[in-house]
Amino acid sequence: MALPLPAGLTPAETAFLCENEPITVIPRQRMQSIELLSGPTPQLNPPRPTTLPLWLALLLHRQNRATLVPPPWLTPAGLETILAAELASPEFCDMLPFHWVEIAQALVSGGCLGGEEAVVGRLVRGVREVRGGKVRGFVVAGEGGVRGVGTVGAWEVGEVRGVVAGVGGGLARLGGGGGAEGRREEEEEDEDEEGGIEMGEGF
């Protein structure tokens, strides 16, 4: 019998969806345009900054053919500003992209931050902990949905999925679910809660 697939996206699937996010590079050598399914890439002319998909930027960085330029929010100064804003307000800071955790993880693990990987990793963990507490608090408290949901990242949605399933299942049982059916639903929800997204190494 086939094993049931976990609800939601796996960490690998979430990271894959992030690979087309635009990122700026400074080419170290000329390179002609490449025809991709999504369209042609820009021609690379050093030292003119160029925007490329994240996967291609990381590849060129590993080949020492381009220097990857971190986005302004993924610098120590940018993350300190974001962390201060997150701590100062119950709302979500709108300075981060939807795939901010995945982008940060890719650039830190790829050594793309000019020696500041350790500092950036520590700040990313701090921002992630503050925002994660907000998401879980709003859901459990029944705030009528997560306020500022448009600024919640993809990874954060995956992390809170188990909490949402647990709350929904608890409300269903309070509404009259019981007996064998209720126990079966409870077991399924417990399995879902174990399938939340976890961060990779460095976070």
Q: How far apart are the first and last CA of the chain?
A: 36
Give a yes or no: residue 203 inside a domain: no
Give a yes or no: residue 201 inside a domain: no
pLDDT 10s digit of each residue in the chain, 203 long?
455 655 566 667 777 778 889 999 999 999 999 898 888 999 999 999 999 999 999 999 999 999 999 999 999 999 999 999 999 988 888 899 988 999 999 999 999 999 999 999 999 999 999 988 887 776 655 544 444 444 777 667 666 665 555 555 555 566 655 545 555 555 555 554 444 444 554 56
pLDDT given at position 59: 95
Q: Which residues pair with 50 in a beta bridge?
A: 25
According to DSSP, residue 197 is labeled -
Give a yes or no: residue 16 inside a domain: yes
**CA count, 13 A, side-chain hemisphere, 117:** 15
Distance CA 67, CA 90 (A): 37
Find out whether 106 and 99 touch, Cβ atoms under 8 Å: no
Tally of structural domains, the chain: 1
Give a yes or no: residue 2 inside a domain: no
Give a yes or no: residue 160 inside a domain: yes
Give a yes or no: residue 162 inside a domain: yes
Find out whether 46 and 29 touch, Cβ atoms under 8 Å: yes
Count other Cβ atoms within 10 Å, centred on residue 96.
Answer: 24
Give a yes or no: residue 153 inside a domain: yes
Give a yes or no: residue 166 inside a domain: yes
Count other Cβ atoms within 10 Å, centred on residue 40.
Answer: 10
Residue numbers of the domain that contains 82: 11-193
Alpha-carbon torsion angle 167, 198, 54, 19, nearest 10 = -60
Would you call 126 helix, strand, or coil by DSSP? helix
Residue with tokens 């400074």: 26
The CATH number assigned to the domain holding 66 equals 1.20.58.2050
